[in-house]
Amino acid sequence: MRLSPAQIWRTRIPRYRLIGKECKKCGRRHYPPRPACPYCGSRELIEVELPRTGVIESFTVIYTVMEGFKDRAPLIIATVKLDDGTRVVAPITDAEPEDVRTGMRVEAVLRRIRDDGSYGLIGYGTVFRPTILVHKTS
């Protein structure tokens, strides 16, 4: 996939920081951000930084990967329900397919998604990994 400088630039905030939108009319949030609310059609939206943790709602392990993903096969893709209820479709990283379950808690991390060959651009984005780190309080 050829990566366009303008497209990488345009999408960087939602992709890096999980910025979605919240509808001022119906109150629902969505991702990726759209010019009108996908649920009620209202154009009165505000940008929101979505929570970086959630649970796996559904997942797949892709063995027949598309061009550019052979080094990641099998690729795990999930729908993640963030803690505020917003759904995100994203890869699951740092996990073995046999350990992934629906209902598993995951956290957002920034990762390298695609390379446009050795000389082109690198595309970064948000993916999720199992919340493996226990935050001990002292």
Partner 1 sequence: MARDSGIVSWGAYVPRYRLKAEEIVNLWGWDSNIPKNLNVAEKAVENVDEDSITMGFEAAYNAILRANINPKRIGAVFFGTESKPYAVKPSATVIAEALGVTPATMASDLEFACRAASEGLRSALALVESKYIEYGLVIGSDTAQANPGDVLEYTASSGAVAFIVGPSKEAAAILEGVYTYVTDTPDFWRRGLSPYPKHGEAFTGEPAYFSHIEGAVRGLMESLGLKPDDFDYAVFHQPNGTFPLRVGRRLGFPKEKILPGLVTPLIGNTYNASALIGFARVLEQARPGQRILVAPFGSGAGSDAYSFVVTDRVNGLRGKAPRVDDYINAKKYVSYAVHAKMRGLYRRIAN
Partner 2 sequence: MTRVYVSGVGLTKVGRHFDKGLIDLAAEAAFKAIDEAGVEPEALVVGNMMSSSLQHQDNLGAYIANSIGLRGIPAFKVEAACGSGGAAVHAAFNMIKSGVYNAVLVVGVEKMTDHPTAVVTEALAQAADAEYELFYGASFTGLNALMMRYYMEKYQVSRREMSYWPVMMHKNAVANPYAQIRREIKLEDVEKSQVVADPIRLLDSSPIGDGAAAVLLVSENIVSKLAEKPIVEVAGSAMATDTVELSNRESLDAMPAAAQAAKKAYKMAGVEPRDIDVIEIHDAFTINAIVLLEELGFAPRGQAAKQLAEGRFAPGDKPTANPSGGLKARGHPVGATGVYQVAEVVMQLRGDFPGVKVDKAEIGLTSNIGGDGSSLIVHVLKRV
Check binding of 67 to partner 1 (CB under 8 A).
yes
Q: Per-residue x/- marks for partner 2, 5-44, CB under 8 A?
A: --x---x--xx--------------xxx-x---xx-----
Instruction: Classify burial at 120, counting beta carbons within 10 Å of its beta carbon; exposed 0-12, middle 13-18, buried 19 or more.
Output: middle
Check binding of 1 to partner 1 (CB under 8 A).
no
Place of tokens 């993640």: 80
Check binding of 65 to partner 1 (CB under 8 A).
no
DSSP string, 81-117: EETTS-EEEEEE-S--GGG--TT-EEEEEEEEEEE-T
For residues 30 and 130, which CB has a smaller minimum distance to partner 2 in the complex? 30
Which residue type does 70 have?
K
Q: Which residues bind partner 2 (CB under 8 A)?
A: 1, 7, 11, 14-15, 30-32, 34, 38-39, 57-70, 72, 75, 77-79, 86-91, 97, 102, 113-114, 123, 125, 127
